[in-house]
Structure 1
Amino acid sequence: MHPEIKENFQEKMRLVVLDLMSHMDEDIKAMLAEHSAKGLLRSGNTIKRTMDFIAQGNASLYQSVLDYFQDLNLAYYPTMEVDIQSLAISAQELYKTECLPRFQKSIELAGKPSLYERMLPEVESGMATDLAKFQNSLNAVVVQIKLSKEIPPMTKVLWGLEALLLLSIMFIAGMWFKDPEGNYEPLVVGLSIAMPLVLVGIKLIAKKVT
């Protein structure tokens, strides 16, 4: 990956994390006010809701990585998937660093500070699950980019022509069926001859590429 693109990507993800944390702070503040009013502040609900906020933000972060990656419309290169995954993991580590103090504070407000170490693996497990889902989605996107790169533009044109010829034969054959006396045979024969020639062209281009 070009250093300037990498730097841009890192800055974009930093801004995404800052935005996610801003929204999380607002959500936590609103939740604490609600729980305080209902007498639920020192309860497991406070911890559970905070964990939900963290999980939602984590999934949103990975989706932002995928969206920005696709927006960049990069040309395929061999280490593309590894590079994007590395950037995603770095962004997630920043997100985790920001999240955990908020999670710990939420547990303390719930009056159960000793639960932090016990609940932390559950938070990390959710993050690991999101990473696995992200890796699968990233792989699918990279494969699509790779396949689109491997098909030369002329091949795409020839396949389009092949489809057009086939549709034309089907259309003319239908007209011939409705009007047996019509002079459609030369057209059908001519198009039928043209189709194999187009396929030969596609195969020749494929050989040149490989």
Structure 2
Amino acid sequence: MHKSHQNLKDKCKILAQDQTVAFDESVERMKRENAANGLLKSGNSIKFVMNLIEEKAVEFYDIAFSHIQALKFTFDPNLESDVGRIVKAELNNFVGPLYDRMAAVCALTGKPELHTRMKPDVELAVERAEKRFDNSLQHYVLDLENSQKVSVFAKGLGVIEVLILISIAFFGGMWANNPDGNYEPFIVLLTVALSGLEVWRRKIT
């Protein structure tokens, strides 16, 4: 595994741990507040956990994507699938135990059967977060690919510009040695071509 890929995987593992701790703290705080208000065994407790799972999944994908951007990957045809696989695998490892916590809250309210009924709704919300991540990752990789193509093309233009400059210098030297020689048209044409290449470079970059 490439160092950048391993770094991303390690980051996602740490992120999952941090998000799990934050999740548990939020649930415990909710329990205390709902208990104080006589709402601990109400549907509010279940709804809170459902929304919290979605929220943490969205945060996980957002933070992971920001880290992907910070790693400054170079384009590779397999980059999208490789990176996506790492993030999604760690997300699944993170979210899986949260469903168990949701089941515990459902049991706490005296309605354990609601876990089976409500879990698909949460899974759908997590899936929406995943699709948004997929879309962002796809755009990111496409930008990398386009940037690479422009970079290669720009390098090609640079080589051509150097050759033109050498040619201009050559004809300039010939003209200096033979003022009566018909070198001016070549120099003018090459100078125009050099200017045209510069305009083209600015347009594509």
TM-score (structure 1 length as normaliser): 0.73
Q: Which amino acid letter does the alignment assign opposite residue 12 of structure 1? A: K
Query: For residue 31 of structure 2, what is the aligned residue in structure 1?
Result: 32
Q: Which amino acid aligns with 1:26?
A: E
> How many corresponding residue pairs?
171
Q: Which residue of 1 aligns with 2:136?
A: 137
CA change 1:153–1:3 in 2 (3 A) is closer
**Which whole-Å deviations, capped at 9, do the CAs of 1:7-35 have from their partners, x for residues lacking one?**
22211101100100111111111111010
Partner residue of 1:106?
A: 105
After superposition, give the CA deviation of every residue in 1:147-177 in whole Å (9 maximum; x if it has no partner). Answer: 1111127728x79xxxxxxxxxxxxxxxxxx
Task: Tell me the equivalent position of 2:178.
Answer: none
Q: Is the 8 A contact 2:65 2:137 kept in 1?
A: yes
Distance 1:23 1:44 in 2: 22
Larger Rg: 2
> 2:57–2:126: 8 Å Cα contact kept in structure 1?
yes
Give the aligned residue type for 1:36: A
What is residue 125 of structure 2 aligned with on the other side? Answer: 126
Q: Tell me the C-alpha RMSD between the 2 structures.
A: 2.7
Q: Counterparts in 2 of 1:6-25, with a 5 A limit?
A: 6-25=5-24
2:84 aligns with 85
In structure 1, list runs of 5 or more residues that go unmatched.
160-191, 203-210
Q: 1:28 to 1:200 in 2, by over 3 A?
A: closer
Q: Which whole-Å CA distance do the structure 1 matches of 2:32 and 2:138 have between them?
A: 42
Matches of 2:193 and 2:80, distance apart in 1: 41
Please list the CA deviations of residues 59-107 of structure 1 after superposition, one character each: whole Å capped at 9, or x if unmatched. 0111122111111101111100001110121011111222111111111
Note the residue ranges of structure 2 that are not aligned, 5 or more in a row. 159-190
Q: Distance in 1 between matches of 2:60 and 2:111?
A: 29
Within 5 Å, which residues of 2 pair with 1:144-155? 144-152=143-151, 155=154
Letter in 2 for 1:38: N
SS in 1 for 2:119: helix
CA apart distance, 1:194: 6.2
Percent of pairs identical after alignment?
27
Letter in 2 for 1:77: D
1:199, distance to aligned residue in structure 2 (A):
5.7
